[in-house]
Chains A and B, each alone.
Chain A
Amino acid sequence: MGVAVSIQNVVKSFGSVRALDGVSLEIAEGEFFGLLGPNGAGKTTLISALAGLVRPDSGRLSVMGRDVIGDYREARRRLGVVPQELVFDPFFSVRETLRIQSGYFGLRKNDDWIDEILKNLDLTAKADTNMRRLSGGMKRRVLVAQALVHKPPVIVLDEPTAGVDVELRQGLWQFVQRLNREGHTVILTTHYLEEAETLCGRIAMLKQGRVVALDTTSNLLARFSGHTLNLRLSDEGKLPEAIRTRATKNDGNWVFRLAGFDEIEPLLAEVRLAGCVIDDLRLTQTDLEDVFVGVMQGAKS
């Protein structure tokens, strides 16, 4: 498999803020890649640099081997970006929007493919509706359609499901997963960690413009493997300091990260000896959210 996206030492500052602080990534053809990080981590700046909307201060980016600045025409032909903001051109209907977008890429008779995209995104009935009259979810679908008119081998979705209803989210993922199976490389940024967990084969985590974790999703989950024990206590004032420091407090729960099940019994014994009453007890598997929190806290120190 070749390299779909190559990002080398990309630095970008806005005034005194370093949005990207030496980011390097390589994404292989056919990957479903997740880009995660808190707000302001640099995800959108990185995607904008890939799309040519942001010019990096230093470093290089390429799409399917084409430099995004030196060979921008060929690079942009190979990249489809679904922007984060819900933007639309209020003058046109859905079909006009897609025809115009096709024309920008030099595709004049693109109606067969446009019809197929419309069908897959459940937009066929809205094809001749003006963009202004569409609901937010529908507008989001058109944004996805616009990114796909030129059948780009690399598709970037910048938080595409923010504020989108469940039904659309499912439909959208089915369509994107199909495109991925057919060989398209997909890059996804999202706040919904469970989405990244189910969809992405590999994940990069960004923080303050740096890659703080980069691994396959399964490795990342394994790295923070094991289980967590969630306790809700009625008399938590009595909890000894030694136990407190082992836990993190989350939403009224005391969360203990466990290396193995054998830790449970002694822990519960200590809690009981301290005189605390357990109101609720839950044992959960590590999910990406725990990894995320773990990596972000680790990167702080």
Chain B
Amino acid sequence: MMSGFRTLLYKEVLRFWKVSFQTVAAPVLTALLYLLIFSHVLDEHVLVNGVAYAAFLIPGLVMMSVLQNAFANSSSSLIQAKVTGSVVFVLLPPISYVEFYLAYMVGAVLRGLMVGFGVLVVTAWFAPLTFVSPGWILAFAVLGGGLMGSLGVVAGIWADKFDQLAGFQNFLIMPLTMLSGVFYSIHSLPLFWQRMSHFNPFFYMIDGFRYGFFGVSDVAPGISLMVVAVSFIAVALATLSMLRSGYKLRY
């Protein structure tokens, strides 16, 4: 029954692995540059929640990389397959829409985790990190990656052209991640923006993920996990119902 899922997942992983220079190495380098520049400018002056700025920044960068790459993986794979027409190879075989969803979503999570791990490995040297509770780290990374991988499926299927996908990425995903507290604690914000941040699901992902490292966070990690889990389930169900309808795939 699930051989379609297995093979499609294998194909998705093989696909990004074959171009890992772009899909893994490049985002790791980007994150490293962020760290070098921001920590150079700010490290001496800033302590966040009692943590040195560079150390505070690293988990944020790791999680941001997980999220952005999970989204990039499923969305770019699908839009390329649609634009080139090769999506037909996935539509002709006996693969159910659930298998289809799971393969693209899990593939996206794996790419996100791989990039996140890469970012962690190259940045960990620059600041003393602690790993207070790895369980939280993994839970937020997987759920956040799953949420973004699902959004990527939606965006990849919805977009007809690459620039539409770029719009989705630049005007929705990027602002939400940048404003999620990767680079700052929301307690440093004016009250209005603090409150606004609580409506951004990405904020909970970054905050909870960071809790796993330092054991301190703006919001209790259990609450954050619940927000992320509920968002993930909602997006997953929406994605599944879109796939079931055949929207833009089966006319």
Q: Do A55 and B246 touch (CB < 8 A)? A: yes
Q: Do A54 and B250 touch (CB < 8 A)? A: yes
Q: Do A104 and B86 touch (CB < 8 A)? A: no
User: Which of chain A's residues have a CB closer than 8 A to the CB of B175?
Assistant: none
Q: Do A55 and B7 touch (CB < 8 A)? A: no
Rounded to whole Å, the gap between the CB of B11 and the closest CB of chain A is: 5
Q: Do B85 and A101 touch (CB < 8 A)? A: no
Candidates A81, A90, A91; contact of B92 at CB < 8 Å: A81
For A51-88 the 0/1 string (1 means CB < 8 A from B) is 11111000000000000000011101101010101011
The reply on B93 being an interface residue by CB < 8 A is: yes
Say whether, besides A52-B250, A103-B10, A104-B8, A88 and B84 are in contact (CB < 8 Å). yes
How many Å lie between the Cα of A116 and that of B86 in the bound state? 24
The reply on A236 being an interface residue by CB < 8 A is: no
User: Which of chain B's residues have a CB closer than 8 A to the CB of A103?
Assistant: 3-4, 6-7, 10-11
For A199-212 the 0/1 string (1 means CB < 8 A from B) is 00000000000000
Q: Do B85 and A87 touch (CB < 8 A)? A: yes
Q: Do A106 and B251 touch (CB < 8 A)? A: no
Rounded to whole Å, the gap between the CB of B249 and the closest CB of chain A is: 8
Rounded to whole Å, the gap between the CB of B185 and the closest CB of chain A is: 41
Rounded to whole Å, the gap between the CB of A261 and the closest CB of chain B is: 51
User: Which of chain B's residues have a CB closer than 8 A to the CB of A14?
Assistant: 251
Instruction: For chain B, residues 7 to 57, give those with C-beta under 8 angstroms from any C-beta of chain A.
Output: 7-8, 10-11, 14-15, 18-19
Interface residues on B, range: 20 to 34
Q: Do A100 and B11 touch (CB < 8 A)? A: yes
User: Which of chain A's residues have a CB closer than 8 A to the CB of B91?
Assistant: 51-53
The reply on A92 being an interface residue by CB < 8 A is: yes
The reply on A175 being an interface residue by CB < 8 A is: no
Say whether, besides A87-B84, A100-B11, A108 and B3 are in contact (CB < 8 Å). yes
Q: Do B19 and A91 touch (CB < 8 A)? A: yes
How many Å lie between the Cα of A108 and that of B6 in the bound state? 10
User: Which of chain B's residues have a CB closer than 8 A to the CB of A77?
Assistant: 94
User: Which of chain B's residues have a CB closer than 8 A to the CB of A87?
Assistant: 84-86, 88-89
Q: Do B86 and A88 touch (CB < 8 A)? A: yes
Instruction: For chain A, residues 143 to 194, give those with C-beta under 8 angstroms from any C-beta of chain B.
Output: 146, 150
The reply on A89 being an interface residue by CB < 8 A is: yes
Q: Do B84 and A106 touch (CB < 8 A)? A: no
Q: Do A104 and B251 touch (CB < 8 A)? A: no
Closest to B85 in A: A87
Q: How many residues on the A side are at the interface (Cβ–Cβ under 8 A)?
A: 32
Instruction: For chain B, residues 148 to 176, give those with C-beta under 8 angstroms from any C-beta of chain A.
Output: none
The reply on B179 being an interface residue by CB < 8 A is: no
The reply on A96 being an interface residue by CB < 8 A is: yes
How many Å lie between the Cα of A64 and that of B34 in the bound state? 59
Rounded to whole Å, the gap between the CB of A62 and the closest CB of chain B is: 15
Rounded to whole Å, the gap between the CB of A217 and the closest CB of chain B is: 28
Closest to B2 in A: A106
Rounded to whole Å, the gap between the CB of B131 and the closest CB of chain A is: 35
The reply on B189 being an interface residue by CB < 8 A is: no
Candidates B14, B19, B84, B93; contact of A104 at CB < 8 Å: B93
How many Å lie between the Cα of A51 and that of B88 in the bound state? 10
Closest to B99 in A: A104
Closest to A12 in B: B251
Q: Do B250 and A83 touch (CB < 8 A)? A: no
Q: Do B14 and A91 touch (CB < 8 A)? A: yes
How many Å lie between the Cα of A77 and that of B93 in the bound state? 7
Say whether, besides A106-B3, A146-B89, A90 and B84 are in contact (CB < 8 Å). yes
The reply on B242 being an interface residue by CB < 8 A is: no
Instruction: For chain B, residues 37 to 87, give those with C-beta under 8 angstroms from any C-beta of chain A.
Output: 81, 84-86
- A residues lining the B interface (CB < 8 Å): 14, 48, 51-55, 72-74, 76-77, 79, 81, 83, 85, 87-92, 96, 100-101, 103-106, 108, 146, 150
- B residues lining the A interface (CB < 8 Å): 3-4, 6-8, 10-11, 14-15, 18-19, 81, 84-86, 88-96, 246, 250-251
22 CB < 8 A contacts A-B: A51-B91, A52-B92, A53-B88, A54-B251, A72-B94, A77-B94, A88-B86, A89-B84, A89-B89, A91-B14, A91-B18, A103-B7, A103-B11, A104-B3, A104-B4, A104-B94, A104-B95, A105-B4, A105-B94, A106-B4, A146-B89, A150-B93
Query: 3 tightest A-B contacts by CB?
Result: A103-B7, A104-B93, A87-B85
- Give 16 A-B pairs besides A53-B251, A83-B88, A87-B88 with Cβ atoms closer than 8 angstroms: A55-B251, A72-B94, A73-B96, A76-B94, A79-B92, A81-B92, A87-B84, A88-B84, A89-B89, A100-B7, A100-B89, A103-B3, A104-B7, A105-B94, A106-B3, A108-B3
